[in-house]
Chain A
Amino acid sequence: MHRATDRSRRAEQPAEKTPRRLTPAGVLVPALKHAVLIIVALVMIYPLLWMIASSLRPNDEIFTSPGLFVDTFDPSHYPQGWTALSPPFSTYLINSGIVVLGSVIGNLVSCSLAAYAFARLNFRFRTVAFIAMLVAIMLPVHVLIIPQYVIFAQLGWINTYLPLILPKFLATDAFFIFLMVQFIRGIPKELDEAARIDGAGHFRIFGQIMLPLMVPALATTAIFTFIWTWNDFFTQLIFVTKPDLRTVPVALRSFIDAQSISDYGALFAMSIVSLIPLFLVFLFGQRFLLRGIATTGGK
């Protein structure tokens, strides 16, 4: 918030000093900029809008109408798509919801604990552990997926959500540890020290002082975990094969195969359904999202 006001003040100052905005170039340059930006923005979101429009058109009109105006309004693709696979689409939404919820809770608990240790505790091998954590952020999942599959298969966990959720409770999304470490470093140490003098142990300081102050970082973590887990296809494709257990991305893929590319409208309709949760998160969590990326640079 602070930054935004800072910025607008800063941006206005030169305009006050020099009446540049009144010269022809001063009007033309911003107008040109807006023109470029508007064109880029339109080109970028056009396919998404077209997908929405197409999901509301009869199939034979989808590829003959590149426009956005819907001539024949036909919402029947939605109920058709919903029940096209067995079980219906609601099952996949619930399944994805379970995986997302488990992952979010797991990341919040495990990463905040680890982050507190890295940011506030002074322990043996701290530097080595910290480097290991940073390197793990950049490790490709492919090196782990085959042995993980072998191990989880031996434990009988294939076609359960354990391989998808359990790792989150073990802080394997190290990116979020780093994000929270950064955040905790910004909290004044005097707060913990005052609590220590009052006789509070680390667990109380963590639970009663740190966690409430960390809410923005926790929100960022929850939102990113939501988005990444909702979109994750690779691991879900590998660990979940049973039709009843399919998550949304895996179900969409089966949808493409099952429809053998005839009912495009229904495919579009279910694709849109699958994107709605992301839209909602974007709408309500944008502040935390942008801050999360801006401060630590996304993944």
Chain B
Amino acid sequence: MSALGELRTITKRTGRESAVDKRARTRDSKVAAVFLAPWIVGLLGITVGPMLVSLYLSFTDYNLLQNPNFTGLDNIQRMLGDERLAASLRVTFTYVLVSVPLQLIVALAIAVLLDRGLRALPLYRSIFYLPSLLGSSVAVAVLWRLVFGGEGLLNSFLGLLGIQGPAWVSNPDTALSTLILLHVWTFGSPMVIFLAGLRQIPREFYEAASTDGASRRRQFTSITLPLLSPIIFFNLVLGIIGAFQSFTQAFIISGGSGGPADSTLFFSLYLYQEGFANFRMGYASALAWLLLLIIGAFTALNFWISKFWVFYND
């Protein structure tokens, strides 16, 4: 079961513990404290503590050199009139809403193609999986920049066909598309999850369906999709959370600027610029909390919508 599935069941589970449980619990608590000590220190010192600090900094003006200066809601007011923020939100939302579903569709399609006892499955799986290992590296971003540059690989191919392609990465109309393509290129990791999920579907379901004369397409929509829906949901939620935080590729491809014309200004890139290039730590903290709220809202929305389409067999 995934971390998400676990969260789902835990919040549903209720029940009273027995007296024996309680006794065991007090005995174990001391031992558990030792086993959990690093995690507790980390949770408080590296996670919860900094989160609270960042919440406080959100309401201040802070440049690292002077003490933070409490400015109330100034940062929020500033956000409302911030055109680059608006641009970065547009870019990020477009990226998330296009690249995540697109990647999952490709992953699912390839997984279904691979599933039915195809020969050479391990070889295909390895080849398809490889890009998701390398995809977040600086080296691949470098490669992307040169494949989609004005004189890049893509255009030399198009040149052979007599087509003069644009400089994809330095054209505001196409730069974001190259990043979306890069995300789709890394479909291997959700594909592996889909493959594992497909394996769990009993073959008998398909055999029964084909005896009853159901077409392949019907089998896909009536058996595969519903039984796979928890895994699609899982991939979707984590894919969205991950895509909102994308940084490296846009940073390298745009040379850190988010350009051309802010067309690849991912939210995290803008946050980095504000915090670590302009040293507006207060405003950057406010941006970080905005990102957290957006991701939280998206995840909650996803869970709510999932009631209507995710089928749990339990």
B104 at the interface (CB under 8 A from A): no
- Please pick, from A7, A117, A137, A142, the residue contacting B199 in the complex, using a CB distance under 8 A: A7
Decide: A129 and B299 in contact? CB cutoff 8 A: no
**Ranked 6 nearest A-B pairs via Cβ:** A11-B117, A170-B42, A294-B196, A271-B139, A147-B53, A123-B32
Decide: A143 and B289 in contact? CB cutoff 8 A: yes
Contact with B along A88-101 (1 / 0, CB 8 A): 00000000000000
Decide: B46 and A167 in contact? CB cutoff 8 A: yes
- Measured in the bound complex, the distance between the Cα atoms of B47 and A135 in whole Å is 11
Decide: A121 and B35 in contact? CB cutoff 8 A: yes
Decide: A63 and B152 in contact? CB cutoff 8 A: yes
What are 12 A-B residue pairs whose CB atoms fall within 8 Å in the complex?
Answer: A11-B116, A45-B127, A110-B42, A114-B38, A138-B299, A143-B51, A144-B50, A147-B285, A233-B252, A237-B251, A290-B125, A297-B193
- Measured in the bound complex, the distance between the Cα atoms of B113 and A278 in whole Å is 27
Closest to A130 in B: B10
Closest to A179 in B: B3
Contact with B along A256-293 (1 / 0, CB 8 A): 11000000100110011011001001100010011001
Contacting residues of chain B (4-63) with chain A, CB-CB under 8 angstroms: 4, 6-7, 10-11, 21, 24-26, 28-29, 31-33, 35-39, 41-43, 45-47, 49-51, 53-54, 57
Decide: B31 and A121 in contact? CB cutoff 8 A: yes
A213 at the interface (CB under 8 A from B): no
Q: Could you tell me the distance in whole angstroms from the C-beta of A219 to the nearest C-beta in chain B? A: 16
Decide: A44 and B127 in contact? CB cutoff 8 A: yes
Decide: A178 and B285 in contact? CB cutoff 8 A: no
**Which A residues are in CB contact (< 8 Å) with B32?**
117, 121, 123, 126
A12 at the interface (CB under 8 A from B): yes
Decide: A144 and B47 in contact? CB cutoff 8 A: yes
A82 at the interface (CB under 8 A from B): no
B245 at the interface (CB under 8 A from A): yes
- Please pick, from A129, A133, A282, the residue contacting B130 in the complex, using a CB distance under 8 A: A282
Decide: B247 and A234 in contact? CB cutoff 8 A: yes
Interface size class, chain B = 35 or more
Decide: A170 and B45 in contact? CB cutoff 8 A: yes
B79 at the interface (CB under 8 A from A): no
Contact with B along A165-179 (1 / 0, CB 8 A): 001011110010110
- Please pick, from B57, B64, B143, the residue contacting A47 in the complex, using a CB distance under 8 A: B143
- Measured in the bound complex, the distance between the Cα atoms of B252 and A198 in whole Å is 58
Q: Could you tell me the distance in whole angstroms from the C-beta of A204 to the nearest C-beta in chain B? A: 12
Binds A, one of B87-95, B268-276, B304-312: B268-276
Identify whether the interface residues of B are mostly helix, strand, loop, or mixed: helix
Known interface pairs A37-B110, A37-B114; 10 further A-B residue pairs with C-beta atoms within 8 A, sorted by A's residue number: A3-B199, A7-B117, A110-B38, A123-B31, A150-B53, A178-B6, A257-B255, A275-B137, A281-B133, A296-B2
**Which A residues are in CB contact (< 8 Å) with B134?**
48, 231, 275, 278
Decide: B35 and A117 in contact? CB cutoff 8 A: yes
**Which B residues are in CB contact (< 8 Å) with A227?**
133
- Measured in the bound complex, the distance between the Cα atoms of B272 and A142 in whole Å is 9
- Please pick, from B28, B39, B113, the residue contacting A36 in the complex, using a CB distance under 8 A: B113
- Measured in the bound complex, the distance between the Cα atoms of B24 and A123 in whole Å is 8
Contact with B along A24-46 (1 / 0, CB 8 A): 00000010011011001100110
Contacting residues of chain A (119-148) with chain B, CB-CB under 8 angstroms: 121-124, 126-127, 129-148
Binds A, one of B153-161, B219-227, B257-265: B153-161
A194 at the interface (CB under 8 A from B): no
Decide: A113 and B2 in contact? CB cutoff 8 A: no
Decide: A233 and B255 in contact? CB cutoff 8 A: no
